[in-house]
Chains A and B, each alone.
Chain A
Amino acid sequence: DTGVSQDPRHKITKRGQNVTFRCDPISEHNRLYWYRQTLGQGPEFLTYFQNEAQLEKSRLLSDRFSAERPKGSFSTLEIQRTEQGDSAMYLCASSFGRAVNEQFFGPGTRLTVL
């Protein structure tokens, strides 16, 4: 399978716990994006990487959220001290090139905070 993969697919956690999600993009893609999607809404941009550099972060991304892409390949998204409002689908997407082109989405990680 050469598509974008995400792990885990589902995560249930208690409020206040930390969680980490992983995204493996398509191997030759230099750009990697994280989005959050809640029921009935479109994906909401969180942050993006070009290779290993994090180039833009949404103002919605509070200090509890951090993302890394250490070697320009896979990426992790960590949420510290989770809140019930963090419950959502977290989508990763990758693309190739300099411009904002076609993005290939992974299956997502559904987070439920109890």
Chain B
Amino acid sequence: GQQVMQIPQYQHVQEGEDFTTYCNSSTTLSNIQWYKQRPGGHPVFLIQLVKSGEVKKQKRLTFQFGEAKKNSSLHITATQTTDVGTYFCAGPNFGNEKLTFGTGTRLTIIP
């Protein structure tokens, strides 16, 4: 079945440093979505990418969808304490209505 892996599993950064998480799917995705889950909270949608090679920015966050639509990345510039949480990528296969979530990257910030 479809597997979606993320690296790294954990990332500890000093406040102000940059952070990147990488997402790799075993199958081609029709789109890729990113969610953030704060400790004790539920996943919150951040963005959806649909086109091959697409890049989108949200303030300090940059999202990229790979050319083969099997990988994606999230880059945060100059992290802040509010960025703490676990970042999940998620995507459906073509013709599939099931959203498969990645393994997640847990970001902690050292003030």
Q: For B68, what are the chain A residues with a Cβ–Cβ distance below 8 Å?
A: none
Contact across chains for A101 and B48 when beta carbons are under 8 A apart:
yes
How many of chain A's residues have a CB under 8 angstroms from any CB in B? 24
Majority secondary structure of chain B interface residues (helix, strand, loop or mixed):
loop
Contact across chains for A55 and B97 when beta carbons are under 8 A apart:
yes
Question: Does B79 reach chain A (CB closer than 8 Å)?
Answer: no
Interface flags for B79-111 (1: CB within 8 Å of A; 0: not) read 000000000101010001111111110000000
Contact-residue bracket for chain B? 20 to 34
- Cross-chain contact of B44 among A40, A105, A108 (Cβ < 8 A): A105
Majority secondary structure of chain A interface residues (helix, strand, loop or mixed):
loop
The total of interchain contacts (Cβ-Cβ below 8 angstroms) comes to 54
The CA-CA distance from A104 to B45 in the complex, in Å, is 7
Contact across chains for A45 and B99 when beta carbons are under 8 A apart:
yes
In the complex, what residue of chain A is closest to B103 when comparing beta carbons?
A42
Contact across chains for B42 and A103 when beta carbons are under 8 A apart:
no
Question: Does B33 reach chain A (CB closer than 8 Å)?
Answer: yes
Q: For A107, what are the chain B residues with a Cβ–Cβ distance below 8 Å?
A: 41-42
Q: Which of the listed residues B42, B100, B102 has the most CB atoms from chain A within 10 Å of its own CB?
A: B42
Given contacts A44-B101, A100-B97, 13 further A-B contacts (CB under 8 A): A33-B99, A42-B90, A43-B90, A43-B101, A91-B42, A99-B30, A100-B92, A100-B98, A100-B99, A101-B48, A102-B48, A103-B99, A107-B41
Mark B residues whose CB is within 8 Å of A. 30-31, 33, 41-45, 48, 88, 90, 92, 96-104
